Chains A and B, each alone.
Chain A
Amino acid sequence: MNSGNNSNSNSLLIPILIGGVLIVVGGLIIGQLTPSIFPDQASAESEQVDTLFQFMLVIGGAIFLLVQGLLLYSVIRFRKRDDADDDEDGPTIHGNTTLELVWTAIPAVIVLVLVIYSYQVWVDIRDTRDDEVTISATGARYAWTFGYEDPQARTIDDSDEVISGSLPDLHTYVGQHVVMSMQTQDVIHAFWIPEMRVKQDLLPGRTTEIRFTPIEPESGWDYTDELTGAQYNRYRVVCTELCGSGHGNMWANVYVHESEEAYMEVLEREVFDPIINPPADPTIRGQQVIQTYPCSGCHVLDDLGWAGVTGPTLNGAGDRATTRVAGQTAEEYLYESIYYPGSYLVAGYGALMPQFQPGDPDGANYMPVNDVYAVVAYLCAQSSAEENPCDFDNLRSLIETDTGLDVTFGDEAPASEDSATDDTMTDDATDEDASTDDTMNEDADSDETESTPEADEEENTGDGSD
């Protein structure tokens, strides 16, 4: 293989050209696999990422074919023959400067192109948009909670603060420029929606951000809201930073609604209406409130479709609580298990539950007394008994004595009788007020039935939604 020999170079040219064409075509074919190995494209970002990846797969595929091809050719063509070859060595070729320059230069150029292309995609993906909406996310071992601020900027009572509420699910809609503003309660977690191709760690002591914009899905809509007829897709947000024993279970549903209207309706139904018009019945309020905490990450609760494995089941909690600890009533036991989770451990489970606290609103695991009252009431209702086994008066005075804070739940009449303080309240909301009680009573009936979160959406009587 003397580079100076003309006839050798010429006879090499044809095989090299053919080989070159083959590997380029082969690379292009391999690149076509890209859509089948990625999940659906659900965000504007995913389109760019996938195209960048396909570009790299074409190049990588070509290099793969080149190397494997040369290897395969060599082991067949250049194997030692069994006959006279035994003693013979191969040709004394120490190198070839031209070739070595070529195979240094070409990868260098490829790398340069990739750097530039990737940089462009990166800049585009993290660019801020004009009309961004911030959704907050909190990661805690082992569940997600998402906080939504009222788009209508309503306030309640005398507060200046715009109302905001939490859900265990992430809701968004096509075209929404989402900014996730994320914090962790304990260890490092990471927020990843595979279909959106976005991932960002949640770091203690920091608020981290990630942006994405859902798009119209090419493969169409998978689900329909039974009440409203609006369509949506459902994905998962998955924790992708090892956070402990429940890491694999730490995921939440992501709902991408087909329109802003559908999205607003769902938020109104799930988040803001319960705040503006809280139910009088603490067990119903508890069912709403418990979903704003990360309990689903560790506990089984059929009523809400929870399947966590790290902690004991909550099915039938009300029944077990009455006799769990000698001398403790059901409400006392359930109260302690939230604010003092280490004081009694169910056999077979470790001391892993976060300790909720009512005192520091900015601190980790804050749960105000009104919430713990409602949650305990709801857990009491996880019972096969006809009547709720808990004494709510005892519960209220227990909380107030223990924390020194007043439980104001149920002190005032439900907000449906007060006029809303924001003039931009729409007629829809007023309609909801009028029929709130009916809705809530129906929910009370369905307490014991099995329902998943999405089934809940469909089962809610649609009085308040159009």
Chain B
Amino acid sequence: MATISYPIGGTQGKPAKRPALAEYFRWSIDHKIIGVQYMVTSLTFFIVAGALAMFIRWELLTPELDFVSNGETYNSLFTMHGTMMIFLWIVPMFAGFGNYLVPLMLGAKDMAFPWLNALAFWMIPPAGLLMLMGYFAGPAEAGWTSYPPLSTIYSPDGQTLWILSLHLLGLSSIFGGINFIVTIKNMRPAGMGYFQMPLFVWSILATSIIVVMATPFLAGALTLLLLDRVAGTAFFDIAAGGDVLLWQNIFWFYSHPAVYIMVLPGMGILSEVLSVHSRKPIFGYRMIALSSMAIALIGFTVWAHHMFTSLNPELRIPFMVTSMIIAVPTGIKIFSWLGTVWMGKIRFTGAMQFGLGFLSLFVIGGISGVMLAAVPVDIHMHDTYFVVSHFHFVLFGGSVFAIYSGIYQWWPKITGRMLNERLATIHFWLTYIGFLGAFFPMHILGMRGMPRRVAVYDPQFQDLNAIVSVFAFILGISTFVLLYNMVVSTVNGKVAGANPYRALTLEWMTTSPPPAYNFIGEPIPYEDPYGYGTEASKEYLKAMESRFGPPPPAKPAPEAEPNAPAPAPEPAGD
């Protein structure tokens, strides 16, 4: 059992000092500043890419071309939407969470390489600008997958800027990955072996291994594409001896592991959130940790399932086998999470609602993924709206829901204020319903014959497309509920205190927000980051509260001053 023997004192009732706003706009090697910089930048691109999606859905209300003036404009809409969502929203957003939380969860003062950390972040704004500058040169319009020869011979100059932007983003990602691996390996506190780490840290470790192993292949592919475009080489030019399948293989060798980069940290967030808000240990901790590593490794063997209609037919079956196998560790996690929630004492905080939403939606994406893994079925479904549906279920229903969950979970730690729970509930239901209505019908559209990446479609699909678009607009609107909540909280939110959720991981054992040096003295982790329910854990939390003050009361009286003592310590939120 861990005891805390610092003087009782407290920052009861007042938010800890927040860094000045100007800090966030300049070079800082503090991982907490960098983490916020990552997150705000990513959220900005989320809004931009989301707006592009709204244009796409507006166009698709009718089978003819009306909202956009020509096919190229439409093609650049979904190209930029996809590219920005992947490389400028999800990947850097999780890097932001990792940056903010990993040192705190390890009781460390910062990452292993703070300067490299700042460099990695500052490559992102220029990369984003390069991407957007494409609009002045004829934007990339070959899809985020950018297959040659469409992306070489037949694409405008914005495609070159797109390539350069991705080079920068990939390099940034690799720097971050190295930093995380070294930090996690070397900077765990005494008493925290690998199997005492929070699962979020495990997920960042698995993700970072993928990042450093796979991203160089993206760099390689992008370099070949760039050379073909500007230097007269012929890697992908059939007329001069090149081969278009070369791109597909190298690209997907990175891009399939990339999807695990995009989901594993979300799964890590989910583990934290589900345990805290069910007040129960994570069910099957070891299996969740090991299955993350299994997914990371097996994920390198499945790439050509994206190429079932172009790959040499002889080679398709092995990739079917590996793609099916990877369903097993994923299933283990889903059942373990269900086991965590089962028999718990569930609090429906915003974080928990989105966590449960993740479980509900990700399983659908997983099922459609296994269907796509079967070659004969994929031959029908490849490049149709069925695939669009599948990846949005796992990337939005999965990753974005996890990001929302993480925002609700750690906003109090980052800002010192709670987000409003009623707005969170509204945000959740608008998002869940908007998402289902927008993306579930796409399964049917795809199966019945609608290809993807088209502005113009067979009129028989119009009714379903109209339904999809209307729900997509609802989904778009839902984002603003969160943004509004953030503004309200910043201005007038309930003070969070150090540990509003009475959680056991180390990031909660300091003020909200933490001081620049993170902890006073050496923080001692509780023996089990998910050890809820034991007397020892209650003692640990009591000691924490006596040091930092109790969490804010759940339902304060309308005129309660922030300094009024609550009748009993209660976890915040509903």
User: Please, which residues of chain A bring their CB within 8 A of the CB of B370?
Assistant: 56, 60, 111, 114
Shortest distance from the beta carbon of A310 to any chain B beta carbon, whole Å: 7
Q: A52-B377, A71-B359, A197-B379 are in contact. Are A92 and B335 (CB under 8 A)?
A: no
Are B456 and A89 closer than 8 Å at their CB atoms? no
Are B456 and A95 closer than 8 Å at their CB atoms? no
> Does A223 have its Cβ within 8 Å of any Cβ on chain B?
no
Shortest distance from the beta carbon of A418 to any chain B beta carbon, whole Å: 41
Q: A87-116 vs B: 1/0 string, CB under 8 Å?
A: 111111111100110011001100100110
> Does B465 have its Cβ within 8 Å of any Cβ on chain A?
no
Are A245 and B71 closer than 8 Å at their CB atoms? yes
User: Please, which residues of chain A bring their CB within 8 A of the CB of B281?
Assistant: 92-94
Q: A39-B449, A92-B532 are in contact. Are A244 and B75 (CB under 8 A)?
A: yes
Shortest distance from the beta carbon of A59 to any chain B beta carbon, whole Å: 8
User: Please, which residues of chain A bring their CB within 8 A of the CB of B371?
Assistant: 53, 56-57, 60
Q: A64-76 vs B: 1/0 string, CB under 8 Å?
A: 1001101100110
User: Please, which residues of chain B bring their CB within 8 A of the CB of A398?
Assistant: none
Are B449 and A115 closer than 8 Å at their CB atoms? no
Are A188 and B244 closer than 8 Å at their CB atoms? yes
Are A309 and B346 closer than 8 Å at their CB atoms? no
Are A118 and B377 closer than 8 Å at their CB atoms? yes
Contact of A49 (CB < 8 Å), options: B348, B377, B448, B571: B377
Q: Which of A195-215 contact B (CB under 8 A)?
A: 195, 197-201, 203-205
User: Please, which residues of chain A bring their CB within 8 A of the CB of B317?
Assistant: 119, 122
Contact of A100 (CB < 8 Å), options: B321, B332, B458: B332
User: Please, which residues of chain B bring their CB within 8 A of the CB of A122?
Assistant: 316-317, 375-376
Expressed in whole angstroms, the Cα–Cα distance for A71 and B270 within the complex equals 14
Expressed in whole angstroms, the Cα–Cα distance for A53 and B371 within the complex equals 7
Contact of B344 (CB < 8 Å), options: A49, A90, A236: A90
Shortest distance from the beta carbon of B545 to any chain A beta carbon, whole Å: 12
Are A205 and B345 closer than 8 Å at their CB atoms? no
Of chain A, the residue at the smallest CB distance from B147 is A188
Q: Which of B371-410 contact A (CB under 8 A)?
A: 371, 373-377, 379-380, 382-384
Of chain B, the residue at the smallest CB distance from A126 is B313
> Does A175 have its Cβ within 8 Å of any Cβ on chain B?
no
User: Please, which residues of chain A bring their CB within 8 A of the CB of B338?
Assistant: 67, 70-71, 74
Are B346 and A75 closer than 8 Å at their CB atoms? yes
User: Please, which residues of chain B bring their CB within 8 A of the CB of A99?
Assistant: 335, 339
Expressed in whole angstroms, the Cα–Cα distance for A245 and B141 within the complex equals 9
User: Please, which residues of chain A bring their CB within 8 A of the CB of B150?
Assistant: 187-188, 242-244
> Does B243 have its Cβ within 8 Å of any Cβ on chain A?
yes
> Does A274 have its Cβ within 8 Å of any Cβ on chain B?
no
Shortest distance from the beta carbon of A337 to any chain B beta carbon, whole Å: 20
Expressed in whole angstroms, the Cα–Cα distance for A309 and B64 within the complex equals 10
Expressed in whole angstroms, the Cα–Cα distance for A100 and B336 within the complex equals 8
Contact of A246 (CB < 8 Å), options: B71, B282, B286: B71
> Does A241 have its Cβ within 8 Å of any Cβ on chain B?
yes
> Does A229 have its Cβ within 8 Å of any Cβ on chain B?
no
Q: Which of A38-86 contact B (CB under 8 A)?
A: 38-39, 45, 48-49, 52-53, 56-57, 60, 63-64, 67-68, 70-71, 74-75, 78-80, 85-86
Q: Which of B317-337 contact A (CB under 8 A)?
A: 317, 320-321, 324-325, 327-328, 331-332, 334-336
> Does A190 have its Cβ within 8 Å of any Cβ on chain B?
yes
B-side interface size class = 35 or more
Expressed in whole angstroms, the Cα–Cα distance for A195 and B380 within the complex equals 9
Expressed in whole angstroms, the Cα–Cα distance for A1 and B343 within the complex equals 9
Contact of B154 (CB < 8 Å), options: A39, A115, A186: A186
Expressed in whole angstroms, the Cα–Cα distance for A60 and B393 within the complex equals 15
Are B279 and A89 closer than 8 Å at their CB atoms? yes
User: Please, which residues of chain A bring their CB within 8 A of the CB of B334?
Assistant: 67
> Does B14 have its Cβ within 8 Å of any Cβ on chain A?
no
Q: Which of B204-246 contact A (CB under 8 A)?
A: 238, 243-245
Are B143 and A204 closer than 8 Å at their CB atoms? no
> Does A134 have its Cβ within 8 Å of any Cβ on chain B?
no
Of chain A, the residue at the smallest CB distance from B238 is A205
User: Please, which residues of chain B bring their CB within 8 A of the CB of A192?
Assistant: 380, 383, 451
> Does A249 have its Cβ within 8 Å of any Cβ on chain B?
yes
Are B332 and A240 closer than 8 Å at their CB atoms? no
Q: A118-B375, A245-B72, A309-B456 are in contact. Are A75 and B345 (CB under 8 A)?
A: no
> Does B444 have its Cβ within 8 Å of any Cβ on chain A?
yes
Q: Which of B516-574 contact A (CB under 8 A)?
A: 531-534, 537-538, 568-571
> Does B284 have its Cβ within 8 Å of any Cβ on chain A?
yes
Expressed in whole angstroms, the Cα–Cα distance for A89 and B345 within the complex equals 7
The stretch of B43-51, B360-368, B488-496 in contact with A is: B360-368
Of chain A, the residue at the smallest CB distance from B357 is A71
> Does A404 have its Cβ within 8 Å of any Cβ on chain B?
no
Are B364 and A199 closer than 8 Å at their CB atoms? no
Expressed in whole angstroms, the Cα–Cα distance for A104 and B288 within the complex equals 12
Are B341 and A78 closer than 8 Å at their CB atoms? yes
> Does B347 have its Cβ within 8 Å of any Cβ on chain A?
yes
User: Please, which residues of chain A bring their CB within 8 A of the CB of B313?
Assistant: 126
> Does A180 have its Cβ within 8 Å of any Cβ on chain B?
no
Are A87 and B346 closer than 8 Å at their CB atoms? no
User: Please, which residues of chain A bring their CB within 8 A of the CB of B284?
Assistant: 94-95, 100
User: Please, which residues of chain A bring their CB within 8 A of the CB of B336?
Assistant: 95, 100
Q: B286-328 vs A: 1/0 string, CB under 8 Å?
A: 1100000000000000000000011001001100110011011
Contact of A248 (CB < 8 Å), options: B321, B377, B457: B457
Expressed in whole angstroms, the Cα–Cα distance for A190 and B378 within the complex equals 14
> Does A275 have its Cβ within 8 Å of any Cβ on chain B?
no
Shortest distance from the beta carbon of A250 to any chain B beta carbon, whole Å: 9
Shortest distance from the beta carbon of A2 to any chain B beta carbon, whole Å: 12
Are B374 and A56 closer than 8 Å at their CB atoms? yes
User: Please, which residues of chain A bring their CB within 8 A of the CB of B379?
Assistant: 49, 125, 197-200
Expressed in whole angstroms, the Cα–Cα distance for A126 and B380 within the complex equals 14
> Does A234 have its Cβ within 8 Å of any Cβ on chain B?
no
> Does A37 have its Cβ within 8 Å of any Cβ on chain B?
yes
> Does A238 have its Cβ within 8 Å of any Cβ on chain B?
yes
> Does A165 have its Cβ within 8 Å of any Cβ on chain B?
no
Are A80 and B345 closer than 8 Å at their CB atoms? yes
Are B279 and A187 closer than 8 Å at their CB atoms? no
User: Please, which residues of chain B bring their CB within 8 A of the CB of A45?
Assistant: 376
> Does A121 have its Cβ within 8 Å of any Cβ on chain B?
yes
Are B383 and A241 closer than 8 Å at their CB atoms? yes
Contact of B447 (CB < 8 Å), options: A38, A67, A86, A198: A38
Q: Which of B32-81 contact A (CB under 8 A)?
A: 65, 70-72, 74-75
Q: A74-B338, A99-B339 are in contact. Are A89 and B570 (CB under 8 A)?
A: no
Are B376 and A60 closer than 8 Å at their CB atoms? no
User: Please, which residues of chain B bring their CB within 8 A of the CB of A68?
Assistant: 360, 363
User: Please, which residues of chain B bring their CB within 8 A of the CB of A251?
Assistant: 458
Expressed in whole angstroms, the Cα–Cα distance for A198 and B379 within the complex equals 6
Of chain B, the residue at the smallest CB distance from A70 is B338
Expressed in whole angstroms, the Cα–Cα distance for A85 and B380 within the complex equals 52
| Residues of A participating in the B interface, judged by any CB pair closer than 8 Å | 1, 37-39, 45, 48-49, 52-53, 56-57, 60, 63-64, 67-68, 70-71, 74-75, 78-80, 85-96, 99-100, 103-104, 107-108, 111, 114-115, 118-119, 121-122, 125-126, 186-188, 190, 192, 194-195, 197-201, 203-205, 236, 238-249, 251, 309-310, 350
| Residues of B participating in the A interface, judged by any CB pair closer than 8 Å | 65, 70-72, 74-75, 141-143, 147, 149-150, 153-154, 238, 243-245, 278-287, 309-310, 313, 316-317, 320-321, 324-325, 327-328, 331-332, 334-336, 338-339, 341-348, 356, 359-360, 363-364, 367-368, 370-371, 373-377, 379-380, 382-384, 443-444, 447-449, 451-458, 531-534, 537-538, 568-571
**9 pairs, CB–CB < 8 Å, chain A vs chain B:** A56-B377, A71-B356, A78-B344, A90-B533, A92-B281, A95-B286, A100-B287, A104-B331, A188-B150
Q: Which 6 A-B pairs have the closest CB atoms?
A: A245-B71, A248-B454, A205-B238, A248-B456, A90-B280, A194-B449
A-B contact sample (10 more), CB < 8 A, given A56-B371, A244-B71: A78-B345, A79-B345, A80-B346, A80-B347, A90-B344, A93-B281, A95-B284, A96-B283, A198-B379, A199-B379
